[in-house]
A and B are shown apart, each in its own frame.
Chain A
């Protein structure tokens, strides 16, 4: 059940929220939508779920256009809107039954799906409780159960873990991973570790345009400029700037060296090299030949966080 977005543009009045974006989500893929607040993530999701139409461009879910086969699209999609709105006066069972009926499930199927969702989402103990009396973590589970009550093939989740505590985040994340196995999932977030933990693919969106598209590791590779190695040495030298610094700088592949700090005989450096060049071996050999004691050497990878900062800060 693939999603195809082509040249999608959305104006709110004169303000452009989404500007000419195109992407595909393949069947069975978990796609992370990453971007700062106001980047256009929610707007894009609202268009995919047929809440509102695009100003121009097309969106198709499994070949059905949101413009003229909206009902069919909505039947295929399970949606958890931003902030997880719920009917606080209903209890879990009433609410899920209501959602199931609106999806056109018959009585037998409603019962079957209800039992399954309560089981999977861990709602058994609270199933007779009013949603208004439940904690945020449980409400989030109810929201997810609602989104999946009709066993949709596509799940659109807008910030499914916002406002949860770290334990709940892990729980919900696992739930999404588990449930998303057989489904096409699009989830938005601004938490980067979430993308790394759950998504097969990431789209970074900023100011209404896509600035990056790829797997988390692809993005890390593509967008880090250089590799860096943190180095800690013990050397009995009088002046590190003249006795150590130039020797490291002279190694082949080294682009720059930053002097970190000194603590008696212990000197700390950050050594940067060109992309794809591993200078650890050369550093080790240099240390041996100079009789420096190597206390620590570690390679630092560019995190997705840095990629994100780079791409979304003007």
Chain B
């Protein structure tokens, strides 16, 4: 009994090691190739612009404007950072190197997923600057802020998983971007087209839409149903990515 547990633990630590190796390589590659800096600068500039230009009009110490803005920016920023993750390896043939190393496909997928997610995390972390400035201007309600950041990270996770899946489908980065963008855009729009949908289906469509769950969380109420929605969608997309990467074996 104890020896099987030891083997399990061993496998787990080997898997973790592999994921970390891929993760480090991908994250470093973002910073080596300047993609990271471009993403962070563009992200902060857009968020900063919309945030500050409306802040004094609203005259409220809140980050609500930012939390409304960022999901729209995610729509094109995230497919842009995920598009190359697998398609480039396919195009250059390095996928063959990677998949003939002693590691599971799921470790490759997780390592790459975490790297892109972490990059978004870093960009979001830097937006805390805006939080600090507002907190100095007035009394800020921390509940919605914490909820907002959690919601953004969960949403980013889903988008990254979708983008990674799109990247696994093709060796062309532009096509990967377009597929990724269309998918996240559709998910984003679902709860905004409810008026065109028969009433009987409306609640289902609303539940599937990502913005509906995001809105719930930003209110500062972290409901398990919303968290489960994000995590299951994220897991499902990663699962599809692993399947898609395994297509060479079909």
A and B from one assembly? yes
Among B94, B104, B249, contact of A86 (Cβ-Cβ < 8 Å): B94
A104 touches B100 (CB 8 A): no
Known contacts A53-B249, A104-B17, A85 near B94 by CB under 8 Å:
yes
B96 touches A104 (CB 8 A): no
B100 touches A51 (CB 8 A): yes
| CB nearest neighbor in B for A102 | B101
Q: Considering the chains assembled together, what is the distance between the CA atoms of A285 and B63 in angstroms? A: 107
B248 touches A102 (CB 8 A): no
DSSP class of A's interface residues: helix, strand, loop or mixed? loop
Known contacts A81-B93, A86-B94, A104 near B14 by CB under 8 Å:
yes
A87 touches B94 (CB 8 A): yes
Q: For the complex, is A41 an interface residue (Cβ under 8 Å from B)? A: no
Q: For the complex, is B29 an interface residue (Cβ under 8 Å from A)? A: yes
Which residues of B sit under 8 angstroms from A71, Cβ to Cβ?
Answer: 102-104
Known contacts A85-B93, A98-B25, A101-B21, A50 near B100 by CB under 8 Å:
yes
> A8-26 toward B: CB 8 Å interface, digit per residue (1/0)?
0000000000000000000
B102 touches A81 (CB 8 A): no
Q: For the complex, is A141 an interface residue (Cβ under 8 Å from B)? A: no
A104 touches B102 (CB 8 A): yes
Q: For the complex, is A74 an interface residue (Cβ under 8 Å from B)? A: yes
CB distance from A222 to the nearest CB of B (A): 35
Q: Which of A40-88 contact B (CB under 8 A)?
A: 46, 49-53, 71-72, 74-75, 77, 79, 81-83, 85-88
Extra contacts, 17 of them, besides A87-B29, A88-B92 (Cβ < 8 A), are A50-B99, A51-B96, A71-B103, A71-B104, A72-B102, A74-B101, A81-B93, A81-B96, A81-B97, A85-B92, A98-B21, A99-B97, A101-B21, A102-B21, A102-B98, A103-B102, A104-B14
Q: For the complex, is A89 an interface residue (Cβ under 8 Å from B)? A: yes
Q: For the complex, is A184 an interface residue (Cβ under 8 Å from B)? A: no
| CB nearest neighbor in B for A70 | B102
Q: For the complex, is B200 an interface residue (Cβ under 8 Å from A)? A: no
Known contacts A71-B102, A104-B14, A52 near B93 by CB under 8 Å:
no
